Structure 1
Amino acid sequence: MNLEQADPEDLAVLRAAFAVDDGGQSALGWEGVRAFEAEHGIVLPEPYRTFVAEITDGSYSGPPDYGLVGLAELPDDWGDDRPERDLRQPFPLTSQWLWEEDDSEPSEETDLLMDRVFDHGSIVLGTDGCGMYWHLVVTGPHRGHVWLITGEGATPFGAEFGFTTAEPGFAGWVEHWAANKPWFDAT
């Protein structure tokens, strides 16, 4: 997974999966991408960076079920009572955490960590509904990885984590969806 330079094969997969045929008019453009990055103090991982700059900035054709939201957007069901998102702060997890199955006592520290999981170091790609959000990590050790974050927990996507047969990262996530495979086909 090359996070610094877009692989032409990955871009071909993304173009085919989204079949955007508007000559890039739905894309944000490089100026828009750089402005977003400067505003948030980050550099988006490839191939997502090139995808939003040249192919499209959001799509109703999915993934996920309710479509891919634009770079600076959040899904309609995100809610207004969430803490402010801070993309500069690193995404706090490197392995699955199912807080619904966590036997430790609830604490303020646990609540703060859950807020950071939802709101630090990732952009929201979209939702499969019912509070199931797909995130692309943009800062921290898991930069470039896609995570499913729900009210019950957070799970990384990619074969190396044991829940799916898919390649990691944005292109692997899209390719898996385009092949019409279940998200977690290895469990």
Structure 2
Amino acid sequence: MLIDWPGVRARVLRLTPADHTWRELEAPLTPAELDAVQRQLGVELPADYQQFLLHVGRGGPGPFSGVLPVEHVDGEWRWRVDQDYDPNDLTNLAKPFPLRASDWRVAEDIENDCPDPFTFEPRNDYHDEWERWHDRHETTMFNPRRTHGALYICHEGDGLGEWLIVTGPERGNIWLDHRVDGRGMTPAWLPHHRRVTFGQWYLHWLGTAEGGRTGDRSGGPRRAG
């Protein structure tokens, strides 16, 4: 799919901000800045995301909170996450993203094992069992290896977010991160698209916004499964 990225910037600039959460469209990166980003990361970013950075903006409005901007701070390039916890581990982007399909069944199995407080007497036994379950949940679902090769580019709020896969067979695709509510990580999809690239993800949102539904800040692809 050939995308007129300079034209995309013009289309975004014509939009009316949806609400107070609207992220301003920032200046694009220069080619020299993009080269510096990729040298630091040790990887080449997916082609359509490179074109977005060069011709649309280093960050700006998009699904949910918008596309998180890349910035140069204290001599290093990083993505401005605007929350207390930064999910990105930029040192492991060259390692392949490990998932090939949704892991919602793994998440569901762990959620189903969550202890029921009404089956424990005394209550201290429940708390001990819950702590063991919670440790298993965190070490399994939030193991840092699960997001190797992935770049966190959008947060939906309440711990939910979206990743652009940079390395591995899923390179270039958007994955949804709903681990905090027990749904695991899963590839985004649209009708007639079992996988969604960055370009498809962004243009789907833009088309929704241009259709007058800017009050719906998501406009993003759906969760598979």
1:18 lines up with 2:47 in the alignment: no
**Counterpart mapping for 1:20-169 below 5 A:** 26-59=27-60, 61=61, 63-71=62-70, 72-77=78-83, 79=85, 84-85=89-90, 86-98=92-104, 99-103=106-110, 106=136, 110=140, 114-118=143-147, 120-150=148-178, 151=180, 152=182, 153-159=184-190, 164-165=191-192, 168-169=196-197
1:170 lines up with 2:177 in the alignment: no
Q: Which has the higher strand share?
A: 2
AA paired with 2:32? Answer: E
- 8 Å Cα contact 1:25/1:56 also seen in 2: yes
AA paired with 1:11? Answer: W
In 1, the alpha carbon distance for the partners of 2:145 and 2:176 equals 14
In 1, the alpha carbon distance for the partners of 2:173 and 2:42 equals 19
Structure whose CA Rg is larger: 2
3-state DSSP class of the match of 1:44? coil
TM-score by structure 2 length?
0.63
In 2, the alpha carbon distance for the partners of 1:14 and 1:142 equals 25
- 8 Å Cα contact 2:201/2:220 also seen in 1: no
* Residue 19 of structure 1: how far off its partner (Å): 2.9
- 8 Å Cα contact 2:98/2:145 also seen in 1: yes
AA paired with 1:46? Answer: A
3-state DSSP class of the match of 2:95? coil
- 8 Å Cα contact 1:15/1:55 also seen in 2: yes
* Residue 79 of structure 1: how far off its partner (Å): 0.9
Equivalent residues, number: 170
- 8 Å Cα contact 2:186/2:223 also seen in 1: no
TM-score by structure 1 length?
0.74
AA paired with 2:109? Answer: D
Q: Which residue of 2 aligns with 1:4?
A: none
Picking from 179, 184, 187, the partner of 2:222 is 184
3-state DSSP class of the match of 2:28? coil
Q: Which has the higher helix share?
A: 2
Structure 2, unmatched stretches of 5+, are: 16-24, 71-77, 114-132, 209-218
In 2, the alpha carbon distance for the partners of 1:126 and 1:135 equals 7
4+ runs of 1 displaced by more than 4 Å?
Answer: 164-167
RMSD of aligned Cα (Å): 3.3
User: What do residues 22-55 of structure 1 show as CA deviations (whole Å, max 9, x unaligned)?
Assistant: xx97011111111111111100111111110222
- 8 Å Cα contact 2:30/2:54 also seen in 1: yes
* Residue 175 of structure 1: how far off its partner (Å): 1.9
